[in-house]
Amino acid sequence: MHWLFPGQRPGQHISADRLGLRLITVGIQPGQARSTALFALAEEVPAAILARMLGIHIQVAVQWQKASAGDWAAYASAVSRRADSGDRTVQPSL
């Protein structure tokens, strides 16, 4: 097997810490990129699903969602309306 990011030992992948250091040396800030990705995800996914997908506490997911200005307060009512009307295309309004 060939690794995309091989480590120092044959057949082993690079560690997350070492990869992070390599990224920093070429000018990429992994922590900042992670936060940006989480903000984008929190804007598009309800907090309950975000928490389950990432394995984080629901309150943390809610905080990320509030910080990213994602508004999923109307999600339950949109799903309820969809079930009542039989329409499967209703999307929650943001």
Please classify residue 80 by burial: count the beta carbons closer than 10 Å to its beta carbon, then call 0-12 exposed, 13-18 middle and 19+ buried: exposed
Cα(94)–Cα(47) distance, rounded to whole angstroms? 14
Tell me what pLDDT residue 74 has: 57
Please give the pLDDT value at position 37. Answer: 86
The model's pTM is 0.48
Mean pLDDT of the chain: 79
pLDDT digits (tens, 9 = 90+) for 50-94: 999 989 999 998 888 888 775 556 565 666 777 666 555 544 444
Q: What local confidence, expressed as pLDDT, does residue 73 receive?
A: 60
